[in-house]
Amino acid sequence: MKKKTMMKYTQIMNIEIKPPTFHYLQDLCKAHLHTFAFENISKLYSIQKGERWIPSAEHFIENYLNYQFGGTCFTLNSTFMQLLTELGFDCSLVKLGQTHLAIIVQLDHQAYYVDVGSTAPIFEPINLDLEANTERRFGKEKMEITKSGNQFEYIRWVNGQNRDMQWTFTMNEEIELEHFKPIYEKSIQPGTPFMKILRCQLWQTDQGRSLSLLNNLFTIRYPDGGDTNVTLSTVYDIKQVLETEFRLGKLPVREAVEELERLGIDVFEKA
């Protein structure tokens, strides 16, 4: 990552450049989650434009400035790792199961799990060297990392139901971003999870809420487990919610909806 890109990246998150400490890593994780949405609108739009691989860090920042793109785990975590490395952190990529990419940060002789590329309530680094299992909660959502020997398992519950993702990982395997290319290629095939829905999620913990868009269903979730649901009727309604609630008015929603229509998906179809 170029220094100019690093400067723009931190400026977008409204965060200062500091020495690599645990508290600074905490601040970076929270700032990233509050700035860059977990969304597949960028993926649908990029595929429509013929782009079939993760954008460079420079392109990622340019895409945010032009379209307010975030991304899914591949884009968000791989780019965030480049920023952390440029800021002086010792980082590596880790593969969870067969579909998820996250980050391991070695800091002060401790290994931390960092993940800004999922919708789980992981607001800070998770110390993997602790003996006890670790969990994080927000409302009805809970994630846990359990440890057995040198293997870890990521488990997630939503509304009390286990998501059964079977995400296991170890820290012994050296993985480069290029190793994820076949997985990414598979993820953009018609019928795969993020090629048959419209998805956008953003944490706003400073306002005590989490925002979620799934097709035409807009949901606001709160720490006490309550939520508010609104069914949207038109693309204009979706754009308005993204602009007024998410503050992501530049996202090319219409183009993403058109790409889904081309794939035979109607985001306004009743379940």
Q: What is the rounded (10 degree) CA torsion for 225, 167, 59, 236?
A: -40
Q: What is the mean pLDDT of the chain?
A: 91
The rounded distance, in Å, linking the Cα atoms of 211 and 202 is 5
Under the banding of pLDDT at 50, 70 and 90, the label for residue 251 is very high
What pLDDT does 78 receive? 95
94-130 burial, b at 16+ Cβ within 10 Å, e below that, comes to bbbeebbbbbbbebeeebbbbbbbbbbbbebbbebee
Question: How confident is the model at residue 271, as a pLDDT?
Answer: 59
Q: What is the structure's pLDDT at 165?
A: 66
Residues 248-260 have a mean pLDDT of 96
Question: Is the per-residue pLDDT at 51 higher than 80?
Answer: no
Does the pLDDT value for residue 164 go beyond 80?
no
Domain boundaries, the chain: 3-262
- Average pLDDT for residues 18-30, to the nearest whole number? 97
The arrangement of strands across the sheet holding 110-114 comes to 90-96, 100-107, 110-114, 126-127
Give the residue ranges of DSSP H helices in 148-268: 181-187, 235-244, 253-262
Q: What is the mean pLDDT of residues 70-83?
A: 95
DSSP 8-state secondary structure symbol assigned to residue 54: P
- The mean pLDDT of 255-268, rounded to a whole number, is 94
pLDDT tens-digit series, residues 130-148: 766 788 999 999 999 988 8
pLDDT in tens, 178-224: 888 888 888 888 888 888 999 999 999 999 999 999 999 999 999 99
Q: What is the pLDDT of residue 148?
A: 84
> Where residue 151 falls among pLDDT bands split at 50, 70, 90?
confident
Rounded to two decimals, what is the model's pTM? 0.93
- CATH code of 3-262, in short, is 3.30.2140.20
Q: Which residues pair with 107 in a beta bridge?
A: 110
Confirm if 201 and 212 have CB atoms less than 8 A apart: yes
pLDDT tens per residue, range 102-121: 999 999 999 999 999 988 99
Per-residue pLDDT at 260: 95
* Cα–Cα distance measured from residue 18 to residue 189, given in angstroms and rounded to the nearest whole number: 41
